[in-house]
Structure 1
């Protein structure tokens, strides 16, 4: 017959046993604990000097042993990663060391001991060993000065001599504590200087990385325009070639059929075509150049003109482009070519969104205006707009709905970063009548000027 079941309320869960602290290998200990473990046997080995100085003695050996054990135990129990633990053990070592030295002087002859003259050295040595904790060394100085004065007074020496030795030990302690304090200040200044240099180097590296990233995105945008650029350049090159053929025939022909007016017209057309090719190449070269990061006041109409000249190469076969920028808009503080890059990214994205629906009825508009103390620039299209799941992630780095041959996922993220660097904002939304809208806002008036 099986025993009755025990009610759940009476069942006690077994508690896991506390984990035993793991011993830390000596090779992984910090410099402070290693120093103490080296110091402990060194203190015990000094008994050989005691034997040479005053002869063998049980009490001198006991004092040396107690002194060495106090240092070793402090090293074993101290937690170097805890500042309170380090301070506590440092105070314990300084106190124990001072008391052991006073006892050693007492058993080896008191005021006549060969070690008596070393009283001023004890706090000074502790200041050198523990420069980060001058309070403990000061405590040792107080104990040593009291010990020296007490031994002299107990041996019947004049009070003035006792006070003289006490003052000597205190003076050495103050000098040692001051030296430790100056060492800490110098060390702190060196650490701060090292951190400042590391921070400045990190900022410089970050700035270079940002410039390279922006430059890469520029080249990627221009790469997307390459086919349209080739088509745009082919048109003037074609009639330049035709005009050169005509001029060659007329110049080499014995009987010229063309009049001087016709030849002059051909030269003008050829020059116009060359200027058009030069303008396209200049726009692309200037747009791809690395810009100085110095914002200046620039008119939005000029910035839009820079971006539109290149964007037309992409949009002329996709959509009709309309620009409405009032001439009286106040200037904004920005890097002109970087802001033009932002607009070009937005226009290229609009062209990609409209390309699927064809030329019929596709429109892209750039509208500028002043709303309160903000200059507002809107880039709109009548395409499909942003799906909800895309709109929430539109400005995430490396997020793109395009194929790898068209998008890197950096364009909009970089565009928002650039606009925010100029004190502006960039937001995306869907138009009520259908299509997408990118809204850029910039402060105007005194808020656009950099602080002096």
Structure 2
């Protein structure tokens, strides 16, 4: 009896590990029929009955092997039952031909349900069918042999008892197999999520480094200016100290104070960039939108030197949002750098970038707007597609807005784009208000007015 497939393979694919191959089935069929000479030696003569039982057994096995992968899934269970019935009847027939109960072949009848439960692990009914047929066959053989009722009941009880044990073992084997499969799937799912998280982290980090590269020119300018007057001040102090005259200590102290301010400015620029390029935080925390925008504006100022007007109107009274702060800084910075690139490319005089924050019902809204040419009609529908960009290869990767939308959506927010009625582009970020922040905001009756004044 070949094993029933737990899931039938596709045509032409390799057989399932739980299914005997046709080659193996042919070998078993040949062995079954070839054992006719053993029957002949045991009986002392050739028995057509024994040969017929063996041919029927082999035919049932081969037919099951040929059909099980071709019939619909709903037919597999009945086909398995038929195969089990044929095999059990043939073994009973061999036992009858050898002499009935007490012969070598009859010892196979009680253990046949256990063998079926091991072969057809997910077919509990097949073991029960084998036990039922074996019990009926035992009764028939007992009557033919003229056994006493007590002896017949004993043999039937043995067959039925082993059938119950087979069903029990089969049931628990299936449960253990399903638990193992579930654990394997859960482990694979967890590994996939970890790999996805790592890939997302690397992709976000790559986009961050791309933004830092686009800020490189501004960084050089921000550092070169203070370095120039720091170097000039150091030369002045050295000349004053080596000159053969009395040193003006107050003047030197003033020059050193200016030098210290320049050094602090350089350290701050480097610290901002280093903190942005690193992504140590992975878990969302409550944070203020005003602080996020302030961090992004400090970094974006390196790229927005040519912008005539930069307006930031984000009230500190806005409800807190629940995000990974550094990642939201990356999103806002990307939008600001994009706005600066557009204004620089079109050399618009009086270029303006405006960042506005406000609270609308149960949402915290952040608008990043510019007065540039806005989005072309054919660009707007594809704006958030991966690798879609209207910039040159040195200006963008085509992943910035795609990644920004994904990062915002991870925290329950949305990122949309549109054109302003008065001209220019508008990027809108919305986040849900934290539940523990929503109630306190409704208590003070004057708070909405304060928020309105902060955004004015």
- What RMSD over aligned residues (CA atoms) do the two structures have, in Å? 1.9
Q: Say whether residues 1:252 and 2:265 are aligned partners.
A: no
Contact 2:281-2:326 within 8 A present in 1 as well: no
How many residue pairs get matched?
424
User: Which residue number in structure 1 is paired with residue 289 of structure 2?
Assistant: 300
Question: Which runs of no fewer than 5 residues in structure 1 stay unpaired?
Answer: 1-23
Separation of aligned partners in 2, 1:81 and 1:312 = 70
Alignment CA distance shift 1:98-1:215 (3 Å): same
* Corresponding residue number in structure 2 for 1:356: 345
User: Aligned residue for 2:126?
Assistant: 136
| Paired position in structure 2 for 1:100 | 90
Partner SS state of residue 192, structure 1? helix
Correspondence 1:62 to 2:52? yes
Cα 1:101–1:422 change in 2 (3 A) is same
- Superposed, 1:170-249 pairs within 5 Å as 170-249=160-239
Where do 1:111-126 residues align within 5 Å? 111=101, 113-126=103-116
Contact kept, 8 Å, 1:369 with 1:377, in 2: the verdict is yes
Q: Which has the higher contact order (CA 8 A, sep 6+)?
A: 2
Match of 2:67 among 73, 77, 86: 77
Conserved 8 A contact 1:306-1:340 = yes
Of 263, 281, 285, 2:252 maps to: 263
Q: TM-score, normalised by structure 2?
A: 0.89
Rounded Cα–Cα distance in structure 2 between residues aligned with 1:381 and 1:371: 22
Q: 1:28 to 1:219 in 2, by over 3 A?
A: closer
- Paired residue for 2:78, among 83, 88, 91? 88
TM-score by length of 1: 0.89
TM alignment of 1:398-417, pairs within 5 A: 398-417=387-406
Structure-2 separation of matches of 1:200 and 1:445: 29
1:176-208 Cα distance to aligned partner (Å, 9 max, x none): 121122111111111111111111111100000
- 1:148–1:162 Cα contact (<8 Å) kept: yes
Runs of 5+ consecutive residues of structure 2 not aligned to the other structure: 1-10, 439-456
Contact 1:33 1:76 in 2 (8 A): no
| CA 289–84 in structure 1, closer or farther in 2 if over 3 Å, else same | same
**Among residues 244, 269, 276, which one is paired with 1:280 in the alignment?**
269
Give 3-state SS (helix, strand or coil) of 2:282's partner: coil
- Cα distance, 1:232–1:29 mapped onto 2, change above 3 Å: closer
Greater than 6 Å deviation, 4+ residue runs: none
Provide closer, same or farther for how the CA distance between residues 353 and 250 of structure 1 changes in structure 2, counting only shifts above 3 A: same
1:368 counterpart residue number:
357
Q: How much does 1:53 deviate?
A: 2.3
Provide the residue aligned with 2:415 in structure 1: 426
Given that 1:90 and 1:136 are in contact with CA atoms closer than 8 Å, whether structure 2 keeps it comes out as: yes
Distance 2:202 2:259 in 1: 39
Shift of 1:49: 2.8
- Verify the 8 A CA contact 1:333 1:448 in the aligned structure 2: no
